[in-house]
Amino acid sequence: MQVDVLTIFPNLLVSPLQEGIIQRAIVSGALEVFAHNIRDHALGKHAMTDDRPFGGGEGMVMKPEPIVAALRQVLTQRPGAHVILLTPQGRQYSQKMAEDLAKKEHIVLLCGRYEGVDARVEEHIDAEISIGDYVLTGGELAALVIIDSVTRLLPGVLGCSDSAECDTFSRGLLKYPQYTRPRQFEGQEVPELLLSGDHKLISQWRFVESVKRTKARRPDLLQGANFSSQERKLLVGHGVELVESVVAGKDDLH
Ligand code: SAM
């Protein structure tokens, strides 16, 4: 996958791409990230990328010409790339959106600064994404969040092929609690069943704990959950009560 990032602060992207799984993905060729400095496309002696807002008001607005020129240059090399504007006004980012983006060959991430970008840039954009209901100083961290979450979904990037499939959100549930050595830590024991070597029982325990955890922390997610009749039996057997609309699995609909 190729990711082009348009920014006035390309150095902000350097270090996060040089560590861990992202760095490995780049070395393996699964991911290519190109940072483009919007300022390189700015006009005039001072190469201004921002100006005062028409109509008055606080702050500065990013000028459209350098952004659109930078975009056009990138799109010449990667025609058909999916262009995303990072903005707190966009659709809220989710694991489902990360999965959809991971299927694309090229994405372009446009990072705003100051009070945001001139509204006339919007017609050059395919999607507007927000990483949450808070306001950052710029889009670079949001771009990195997208790069990070998408990279781990690219084929062959994670060591174990099914790691991402068992992650939180992958089937609308939070992940079960996990433990590693030591077996005892400050008086707390690892659940005995996890030491049993019985993979069927372990897998059932994980499923039940995953549902319990989701119910306690993110009950909203359970509205979209779909359980098989076997899973429902298991949950009932472990005393996990769910409202009927959630408990009903696909196989009950016909
Ligand atoms: N004045 C803008 C508004 O009220 O919508 C906010 C501008 S913000 C200070 C500057 C830039 O940071 C935005 O153009 C955007 O690129 C980025 N940004 C801020 N919050 C973000 C968020 N939650 N998700 C994605 N990008 C964000």
**Neighbouring residues of 50: CB distance < 8 A, sequence distance ≥ 6:** 60, 61, 62, 63, 113, 114
Structure-model confidence comparison of residues 245 and 142, the more confident one? 142
Could you tell me what percent of the chain has a pLDDT over 90? 88
The residue whose CA is least distant from atom 19 of ligand 1 is: 136
CA 210 to chain centre: 21
Q: Mean pLDDT over residues 77-105, rounded?
A: 98
Instruction: Compute, in angstroms, the gap from residue 115 CA to the centroid of ligand 1.
Output: 7
Does 247 score more than 60 pLDDT? no
Residues involved in catalysis: 88, 115, 152, 167
CA 223/CA 211 separation, integer angstroms: 12
- pLDDT value of position 248: 46
Instruction: Compute, in angstroms, the gap from residue 137 CA to the centroid of ligand 1.
Output: 7
Quickly tell me which residue has 């009749």 as its tokens.
229
Q: Is there an atom of ligand 1 within 6 Å of 145 CB? A: no
Q: Is there an atom of ligand 1 within 6 Å of 7 CB? A: no
- Closest atom, ligand 1, to C-alpha of 132: 23
The residue whose CA is least distant from atom 1 of ligand 1 is: 115
211 and 174 Cβ atoms separated by less than 8 Å? no
User: How far, CA to CA in Å, does 96 sit from each of 134, 185, 216?
Assistant: 20, 36, 22
Residue 164: band (very low, low, confident or very high) from pLDDT cuts 50, 70, 90 = confident
- pLDDT value of position 165: 79
Instruction: Compute, in angstroms, the gap from residue 79 CA to the centroid of ligand 1.
Output: 27
Structure-model confidence comparison of residues 160 and 7, the more confident one? 7
**Which CATH number is associated with domain 168-248?**
1.10.1270.20
Does 253 score more than 90 pLDDT? no
Does 171 score more than 90 pLDDT? no
CA 138/CA 87 separation, integer angstroms: 9
Residue 168: band (very low, low, confident or very high) from pLDDT cuts 50, 70, 90 = confident
CA 231/CA 249 separation, integer angstroms: 9
- pLDDT value of position 252: 40
Paired with 108 in beta bridges are: 4, 83
Does 160 score more than 90 pLDDT? no
**Which CATH number is associated with domain 2-151?**
3.40.1280.10
Q: Cite the beta strand spans of the chain per DSSP E.
A: 2-7, 32-37, 50-51, 61-62, 82-92, 106-111, 127-130, 184-185, 188-189
Could you tell me what percent of the chain has a pLDDT over 70? 94
**Neighbouring residues of 36: CB distance < 8 A, sequence distance ≥ 6:** 4, 5, 6, 7, 10, 70, 73, 74
Out of 82-91, 128-137, 222-231, least confident range: 222-231
pTM: 0.93
Pocket test for ligand 1, best of 87, 91, 97, 114 (most atoms within 8 A of CB): 87
Instruction: Compute, in angstroms, the gap from residue 197 CA to the centroid of ligand 1.
Output: 49
CA 131/CA 143 separation, integer angstroms: 9
Q: Is there an atom of ligand 1 within 6 Å of 86 CB? A: yes
- pLDDT value of position 249: 45
CA 142/CA 92 separation, integer angstroms: 11
Q: Mean pLDDT over residues 67-83, rounded?
A: 98
CA 73/CA 75 separation, integer angstroms: 6
CA 84/CA 94 separation, integer angstroms: 14
Name the token pair of 146: 């997208």
Q: Is there an atom of ligand 1 within 6 Å of 131 CB? A: yes
Matching fold, domains 2-151 and 168-248:
no
- Closest atom, ligand 1, to C-alpha of 129: 25
Q: Is there an atom of ligand 1 within 6 Å of 92 CB? A: no
pLDDT in tens, 13-66: 999 999 999 999 999 999 999 999 999 999 999 999 999 999 999 999 999 999
Domain boundaries, the chain: 2-151, 168-248
Residue 197: band (very low, low, confident or very high) from pLDDT cuts 50, 70, 90 = very high
